[in-house]
Amino acid sequence: MDEPPSPSPFTLAVTDWATSRTELFEIRREVYIVEQAVPPELEIDEHDDACVHVLARDAAGRPIGTGRLLDDGHVGRVAVVAAWRKRGVGAALVRRLIDLARERGMREVVADAQVRAIGFYERLGFSAEGGEFLDAGIPHRRMRWSVRR
């Protein structure tokens, strides 16, 4: 007899800042403020309240990753806690954010990716454009994903 498929090791939930602020910030604090030394005043901005956020949780319900979509199609603040990296969480978050953009009628999505994450975004169908620039002292590059015809 075939065994039933194992449950997903993580789940994704679409949320907003008012509902999930504590969990969203805890992930971003751990990844950006603690690991990457981004100043706290740069990590939280005026866009959080207006964005749609996606929150990843492990099987026990603990927050493990997040990302957000702005009204202009900009994907940002994609962060996964260290123990969950290289396990598909980041890709699932970005794919869900792209789906949300498409549901809202957007034909392209833009991300300002850390240079070390360019390959990650390219594997998801993004293309790099323009030169490098600094954001919070970290080299970034603009990445663009467009609806394929």
Q: Give the integer Cα–Cα distance in Å for 114 and 136.
A: 10
Domains, in order of start, for the chain:
10-105 (3.40.630.30)
Q: What is the pLDDT of residue 148?
A: 65
Q: What is the pLDDT of residue 7?
A: 57
Residue 125 has pLDDT above 80, yes or no: yes
The pTM for the full model equals 0.91
Residue 139's contacts (CB-CB under 8 Å, 6 or more residues apart) are 114, 115, 132, 133
Residue 149 has pLDDT above 80, yes or no: no
The b-or-e profile of 52-67 (16+ CB within 10 A means b, else e) is bbbbbbbeeeebbbbb
Residue 97's contacts (CB-CB under 8 Å, 6 or more residues apart) are 54, 67, 68, 69, 75, 78, 109
Q: Give the integer Cα–Cα distance in Å for 92 and 111.
A: 15
Closest CA to 80 of 119, 30, 115: 30
Closest CA to 88 of 4, 29, 20, 8: 8
Mean pLDDT of 55-59: 97
Residue 48 has pLDDT above 60, yes or no: yes
Q: Which residue has the higher pLDDT, 18 or 41?
A: 18
Residue 138 sits at φ, ψ, to 5 deg, of -110, 130
Q: Give the integer Cα–Cα distance in Å for 88 and 104.
A: 24
Please tell me the least confidently modeled range out of 13-22, 109-118, 126-135, 140-149.
Answer: 140-149
